[in-house]
Structure 1
Amino acid sequence: MPSNYSSSTFDELKWVIQIRRTLEEEQEDDEDYGIPVAIFKVPKLLMESDPHSYIPQLVALGPYHCWRPELHDMVRLKLSAAKRAKKFSSTNLQFHDLVEQLLKLEQNIRACYHGYLDLNGETLAWMMAIDASFLLEFLHVYAGKFEILQRVPSRMSHLMDHAGTKPAHNAVLRDIIMLENQIPLFVLRKMMEFQFESSQQSDEILLSMMIGLFTELSPFNTTDGIPEIQISDCAHLLDFLYQMIAPKSKEASEINEIPNEIEQSPQISYRFKQFLKRLISYTKRAMQSQHIKTIARLPWTILSTIPPFTVLKQPAEILFFREQQEPREEPEPQNLKSNANRPPLTEEIAIPSVSELSKAGIRFSPSHGGISTITFNSQTGTLYLPTARLDVNTEATLRNLVAYEASSGIGALVLTRYTELMNGIVDSEEDVRLLREGGVIVNHLKSDEEGAWMWNGMSKSIRLSRVMELDKVIEEVNEYYNGLWRVKMGRFVKEYIYSSWPLIALTTVAWFLFLIALQAFCSLFGCFRALPSKRS
């Protein structure tokens, strides 16, 4: 560095050079147009609630945490994995050849990250190649059904010998599913192509490893089958887990539809189709908002006051504004209508705890499926919930899935709403015990109290959302619970007897003190002797 340049000036020059080169560089392949951002920084509100669940503690993957000094111990193991990847390759390519291929994808890699990457292209390519080697070697343990990988477990032993196998394995598991620790899935696919001759075989093995990871980390019972998902449709490992776990709501499936001629056209790339889906989603969501509907009605409201148009007012409203007129057929209190249209806050989820529901006679039963199987049977008074497995990885998995769901804007916050529901019904270890005895929770934590802490800690949300299916279940449970005679009687006693008890007690004490004072007065002045005798 020249002596007349300070370090800050040098950094500024480096930034300007990088930005200028990025802006002047032409995109070589139009197929990559519209690559969506998929690797986000965890929102501050969520990060502050539990940093340990979002910040990697053992290994950094990708650029967000690569320079943290406390994670440098794993660099040696990552380099060892890169060396073994070279030996394991069935092609004649050298490792630097793979780096050169990733260097060509530099702009695609940068496009996946929401945060600015203050790295030059060569550094980024080497980082991706080495981190991908480490990640794939770790994931190989989940693809044991392939004979070609039978010798992988002996290679994995090099990875964990330094810290004890199980604790270190769980620590790496938690790190690799963190939102800020993701690397693009197409980098992993490129690395697999480097190791195997057939891209079809490499995709099959990679999918097998990702399904094994899903089976290991999924908090829900997977006995209802494994969803079929193409890895080419996934942005990274966390996105794959999300697509496997989160049900696709009816609303999301409707707003993401694109015309068949576009969907089936081979000339239009997948990335551009995804861009169109997101554009259609945002547009439809905006058009369905109450503000847009009000603005759309404004010109007609003005025209309908002009005499020539008054005769057309009623038929026009039936044809064009029927959706807004239908609710008027069943009038409701204004406060209920406003609450129904307004997305509720996390703190506003009003539902009794498991203990309260159980005392009222409501039962809990496993639904043998995912979140989409949450239902309430009002005939039997049974709330069906998916079997949730609680272990040392569950909280980090759910938290990062919720953070990704909120940051990506991929649709309704289904997982967020589920965690809010569980936070609403679980208040104490007694609630966890009842759910565990009912088969809704399989608790591998040290105690039921830890399970209650986990659910109660997941109460932060960065944006509001209504999930029709889950909110309907919450309303049904509350309606059933509030209609039970024992609940009504309990509320009557609490409101009219317990609430009046202080007044009754005060009146009794005052009367008692008055009698004592009267007795003392009469004993001194003989007021009873002054009364006329019965004999007289």
Structure 2
Amino acid sequence: MLLSPPHQSPNPIWDEQRWIIYIRQALDYEDDLDQESHIPVSIFNVPKTLMRTSPESYVPQLVALGPYHHSRPELYEMEMYKLSTAKRSQKASPGLKLHNLVDQLSRAEHRFRASYHKFLNLNGETLAWMMAVDSCFLLDFLQRKSGSPALNSGRKLGLHDALLRDIVKLENQVPLFSLKKTLEFMSGSSDGADDSSLYVMAVGLCRDSSPLMIQESNDVDQINKSAHLLEFLYNLIFPRFHESFEITLDDDEQGPDKAKTGPFSFIKSLVLSKPVTIILTLPWKLISNLPGILMLKQVEYFCFSRNTEGQNDNNNNSDHIGHLLMEEIAIPSVTELSNAGIEFVRTDKGISGIDFDKETATFHLPSLSVDVNTEVVMRNLVAYEACGDTLLPLIFTRYTELMNGIIDSEEDAKLLREKGIVLNYLKSDQDVADLWNGMSMSIRMTKVPFLDRVIEDVNRYYNGRWKVRIGKLVRRYVFGSWQSITLMAASMLLFFVSLQSFCTLFGCGRLFFHRARMIQ
């Protein structure tokens, strides 16, 4: 067995001797090193930018699995339960002892170390025992999805949810090949038949935890293609390879031969044409350029510019800071889209089924189950996706950004629930809105062509509606210039008061009456 790298020790001389032994053995075990170099890192530390947003969503709260949080004292209580689970597994396999499993796992020490992004400050024997005990616990949990058999009380469901949340966390993952080796050890066979049972158990866990519909392919070999349970869940939500997410060309890009024609297309092109836009905005431009309005704008500038200059600087600074902390997709909310005539329809194709039909103004979104586990599951899926292959688009992250953009209020969540898109198992629709409003998080640029195309189509349709255009013009030229309107109203009031005073002094009524008699 290849000796593990030296770690901190009270005796530095012993560390130097251990390092020399490690180097000598590493040169002799060339096959192991070659094999280790081809094992991709799959269990990462959550980036600090994500960890700061919600630490409890990434750090295990009840049980530690794997080496990252093994030494946390507040999680020691579950260590005794994990040990009792390992004892039950040993009793269920007559003639086999747990140390025999440890010996088998010790031979794969290089695979364990290569799977973790962080350097493991553990010796090989400690690491092997940790993996054996944690694998026994995980298999027991997968076989008993309803909860822990040791605590049959009213807290059973709550304990199951708490364990489930810890099991799906990125930093709490155990390599799946460890579960496979443990299952083979417990069944006493290594002919691959256990892959099917492990696949069935893992799919059961994904059904319990996934907020989106999973795509079961009945491909048992898929369990061998996934490094850990969180990656297996990610691969079931949508294919690992993104070729299936292709952009469908719209009518304009298909060319004149395939472009759709008809009265609707003609009316739509007429409404969106530049002459109509000019005609719509021309009256406001003429009014805003009248001599009296221009004079009022100059007075407004001298009266209000000094007071607002400092405020604008502060607002710009706060906007810049907010932009750095959270960048939200520029898309109207569900309520605004619904008021503009857009209909929301549920799709059964998952994230790949997100689409916007411009002809019928129909926005297709996948059904989403929201419960007490949803936020933790989604955050760790985003963290895994962000830490994985940097060449692949962040599809799940972009989806969370899209939902964050369209859900702003309780009314937005209510509308999606009534359409069957959001299956709410929380206390209220406001809880759903609060969950999504905190989900905008990304550590690098998030560009997904087919989702970006949908967002662009929705915005183009929304901004082209007459109701929306008129509302924007009113907000821009009427409510947007409230200071000018206030100044105009004050000027008119002053004019009429002055006129009334003049008429009181010089008898405007008598002059007007005398002038009328002369005309007659």
TM-score (norm. length: structure 2): 0.76
Instruction: Output one character per residue of 1:414-456: Cα deviation in whole Å (capped at 9) or x when no partner.
Output: 1000000100111011111000101111000111111111111
Q: Which amino acid aligns with 1:124?
A: L
Q: 1:107 — aligned with what?
A: 110
Q: Which amino acid aligns with 1:183?
A: V
2:178 is the alignment partner of 1:187: yes
Superposition deviation, residue 509 in structure 1: 2.1
Range moving further from structure 2, 451-460 or 23-32: 23-32
Q: 1:157 — aligned with what?
A: 149
Q: Which amino acid aligns with 2:207?
A: T
Cα distance in 1 between the residues matched to 2:461 and 2:157: 46
Residues 36 and 114, structure 2, Cα contact 8 Å, conserved in 1: no
Q: 1:369 — aligned with what?
A: 349
Q: 2:377 — aligned with what?
A: 397
Superposition deviation, residue 495 in structure 1: 1.8
CA change 1:13–1:133 in 2 (3 A) is farther
Residues 8 and 15, structure 2, Cα contact 8 Å, conserved in 1: no
2:73 is the alignment partner of 1:69: yes
Instruction: Find the partner of 2:237 among 231, 242, 245.
Output: 245
2:231 is the alignment partner of 1:206: no
Cα distance in 2 between the residues matched to 1:11 and 1:466: 52
Residues 9 and 15, structure 2, Cα contact 8 Å, conserved in 1: no
Q: 2:96 — aligned with what?
A: 93
Residues 81 and 134, structure 1, Cα contact 8 Å, conserved in 2: yes
Residues 245 and 352, structure 2, Cα contact 8 Å, conserved in 1: no
Cα distance in 1 between the residues matched to 2:16 and 2:174: 26
Residues 333 and 406, structure 2, Cα contact 8 Å, conserved in 1: yes
2:173 is the alignment partner of 1:170: no
Cα distance in 2 between the residues matched to 1:22 and 1:109: 17
Cα distance in 2 between the residues matched to 1:368 and 1:166: 29
Aligned-residue CA RMSD in angstroms?
A: 2.8
Gaps of 5+ in 2: 1-6, 247-323
Cα distance in 2 between the residues matched to 1:117 and 1:95: 23
Cα distance in 1 between the residues matched to 2:15 and 2:436: 44
CA change 1:20–1:485 in 2 (3 A) is farther
Instruction: Find the partner of 1:215 among 202, 207, 213.
Output: 207
Cα distance in 2 between the residues matched to 1:506 and 1:14: 84
Superposition deviation, residue 514 in structure 1: 2.8
Residues 482 and 488, structure 1, Cα contact 8 Å, conserved in 2: yes
Gaps of 5+ in 1: 1-6, 143-152, 255-343
Cα distance in 1 between the residues matched to 2:429 and 2:388: 33
Range moving further from structure 2, 345-354 or 428-437: 345-354
Cα distance in 1 between the residues matched to 2:140 and 2:330: 46
CA change 1:77–1:108 in 2 (3 A) is same
Superposition deviation, residue 383 in structure 1: 0.7
Residues 334 and 412, structure 2, Cα contact 8 Å, conserved in 1: yes
Range moving further from structure 2, 175-184 or 103-112: 103-112
Cα distance in 2 between the residues matched to 1:475 and 1:529: 64
CA change 1:21–1:128 in 2 (3 A) is farther
Superposition deviation, residue 163 in structure 1: 8.0
Q: 1:439 — aligned with what?
A: 420
CA change 1:17–1:79 in 2 (3 A) is farther
Instruction: Find the partner of 1:116 among 119, 124, 135.
Output: 119
Superposition deviation, residue 54 in structure 1: 0.3
Q: Which amino acid aligns with 2:93?
A: S
Cα distance in 1 between the residues matched to 2:125 and 2:228: 22
Residues 346 and 420, structure 1, Cα contact 8 Å, conserved in 2: no
Q: 1:511 — aligned with what?
A: 492
Cα distance in 2 between the residues matched to 1:202 and 1:79: 23
Superposition deviation, residue 47 in structure 1: 0.5
Superposition deviation, residue 502 in structure 1: 3.7
Instruction: Output one character per residue of 1:177-230: Cα deviation in whole Å (capped at 9) or x when no partner.
Output: 1000001111111100110123323222111100101111111134x6546352
Range moving further from structure 2, 478-487 or 160-169: 160-169
Cα distance in 1 between the residues matched to 2:339 and 2:59: 41
Q: 1:25 — aligned with what?
A: 25
CA change 1:482–1:21 in 2 (3 A) is farther
Q: 1:357 — aligned with what?
A: 337
Q: Aligned runs of 1:419-458 on 2, under 5 Å?
A: 419-458=400-439
Superposition deviation, residue 17 in structure 1: 5.7
Q: Which amino acid aligns with 2:202?
A: M
CA change 1:9–1:156 in 2 (3 A) is closer
SS of equivalent to 1:439: coil
CA change 1:423–1:73 in 2 (3 A) is same
Instruction: Output one character per residue of 1:317-349: Cα deviation in whole Å (capped at 9) or x when no partner.
Output: xxxxxxxxxxxxxxxxxxxxxxxxxxx997262
Superposition deviation, residue 105 in structure 1: 1.3
Q: Aligned runs of 1:413-424 on 2, under 5 Å?
A: 413-424=394-405
Superposition deviation, residue 51 in structure 1: 0.7
Aligned residues: percent identity? 49
2:440 is the alignment partner of 1:459: yes
Q: 1:196 — aligned with what?
A: 187
Residues 44 and 118, structure 2, Cα contact 8 Å, conserved in 1: yes
Q: Which amino acid aligns with 1:68?
A: R
2:135 is the alignment partner of 1:132: yes
TM-score (norm. length: structure 1): 0.74
Cα distance in 2 between the residues matched to 1:451 and 1:380: 28
CA change 1:452–1:64 in 2 (3 A) is same
CA change 1:226–1:529 in 2 (3 A) is closer
Residues 182 and 236, structure 1, Cα contact 8 Å, conserved in 2: yes
Q: Which amino acid aligns with 2:327?
A: E
Cα distance in 2 between the residues matched to 1:488 and 1:481: 9
Q: Which amino acid aligns with 1:55?
A: V
Cα distance in 2 between the residues matched to 1:61 and 1:401: 17
Q: Which amino acid aligns with 1:65?
A: H
2:454 is the alignment partner of 1:473: yes
Q: Which amino acid aligns with 1:391?
A: D
Superposition deviation, residue 88 in structure 1: 1.3
Cα distance in 2 between the residues matched to 1:252 and 1:36: 24
Q: Which amino acid aligns with 1:449?
A: Q
Q: 1:495 — aligned with what?
A: 476
Superposition deviation, residue 531 in structure 1: 5.9
Residues 390 and 442, structure 1, Cα contact 8 Å, conserved in 2: yes
Instruction: Find the partner of 2:50 among 46, 49, 55.
Output: 46
SS of equivalent to 1:349: coil
Superposition deviation, residue 504 in structure 1: 2.9
Residues 245 and 450, structure 2, Cα contact 8 Å, conserved in 1: no
Q: Which amino acid aligns with 2:347?
A: S
Superposition deviation, residue 232 in structure 1: 1.3
Residues 58 and 74, structure 1, Cα contact 8 Å, conserved in 2: yes
Cα distance in 2 between the residues matched to 1:447 and 1:509: 47
SS of equivalent to 1:347: coil
Residues 141 and 209, structure 1, Cα contact 8 Å, conserved in 2: no
SS of equivalent to 1:459: coil
SS of equivalent to 1:364: strand
Q: Which amino acid aligns with 1:69?
A: P
Superposition deviation, residue 526 in structure 1: 4.0
Instruction: Output one character per residue of 1:356-375: Cα deviation in whole Å (capped at 9) or x when no partner.
Output: 00000101111012111111
Cα distance in 2 between the residues matched to 1:381 and 1:13: 74
